[in-house]
Amino acid sequence: MRNSRAKVTILADNRADAPLVAEHGLALWIESGSRKILLDTGQGESFFTNASLLGIDLRETDTLVLSHGHYDHTGSVARVLEEAPQVDVYLHPAAFLPRYSHRNGQARPVQAPGTAMSSIIAHPEPKVHWVNGVAVLANGINITGPIPRKTDFEDTGGTFSLDPEGRTPDLIRDDLALWISTDEGLVICTGCCHSGIVNTLSYIMLRSGEERIKSIVGGLHLVNAGRERLQRTVEELNKLNIEELVPCHCTGDEAVAYLYDNLDCRVTPGYAGMRV
């Protein structure tokens, strides 16, 4: 079943439309039919400040979806659950793993904060849904669950591990996306797209049976992508029926510019306060 329309508002992003506040993080407010869904909660206080400035009452949230267990997507989970105790929470079981990012020989913890973990553990058990496959939120609204990784040019977008020494790579298997089937095609919302945007779109089109893509909104984690990956990404995306791409958060300025110059679809850089 399709929805007549969907509206996505960017609540937290690396860029913001004044007087909203920018931060390194992502949160999307999704309205479709009677559903009011949060995809991620950003890193910190900008999330609540921006929601207030935009006139969005987070107490009305009925569903919280966590795209993966990184701090910049889960920083405000505890407060959301406090203000909207009725919400159903959807996340992958691996979202609570210890995680590290490595740069210049230094390991930096990037896992979800302890407050997010403890608040979900304390949340009513029937309201917490562990996503290991496609999950249906409502007619025409779905979560991917783990996304098969079939391309040979897409990776997680950085050097991640499950230990500070870097012995055990973190493939971020909990990465997931959300899609809404509308009369005009798919509206697809991503967190960081650690599975790769091409893998993500291919899987969603396969599972939905829909090839028209109305809008893609969210992070693409191309900030560290080399020219070959960008070229091959564009080649594959230009084969698809995409109307609009709104890159956010971890896509990276250079990658956004490359996508803008080379994709056949409309590319509009996202920012907190933008409504799609």
Q: Which residues pair with 121 in a beta bridge?
A: none
| 137 band by pLDDT with thresholds 50, 70 and 90 | very high
pLDDT per position as a tens digit, 195-204: 999 999 999 9
pLDDT at position 1: 64
Contact 240, 218 (CB under 8 A): no
* Paired residues of 63 in beta bridges: 37, 88
Instruction: Write down the mean pLDDT value for the chain.
Output: 96
* The residue type at 24: H
Per-residue confidence (pLDDT) for residue 97, from 0 to 100: 96
pLDDT tens digits, 146-195: 999 999 999 999 999 999 999 999 999 999 999 999 999 999 999 999 99
pTM assigned to the model? 0.97
Whether the predicted pLDDT of 60 surpasses 90? yes
User: Which of 108, 116, 99 lies closest to 42, judged by CA?
Assistant: 116
Strand ranges in 152-274 using DSSP code E only, listed in sequence order: 160-161, 177-182, 185-190, 212-219, 241-248, 266-267
Tokens 């249906």 -> residue: 136
Ordered alpha helix ranges (H), the chain: 46-53, 71-74, 77-83, 114-122, 197-208, 227-237, 253-262
Confidence band, pLDDT 50/70/90 cuts, at residue 105: confident
Q: What percent of the chain has pLDDT over 90?
A: 95
Residue 4 pLDDT > 90, yes or no? no
pLDDT at 270 > cutoff 70: yes
Mean pLDDT of 221-226: 96
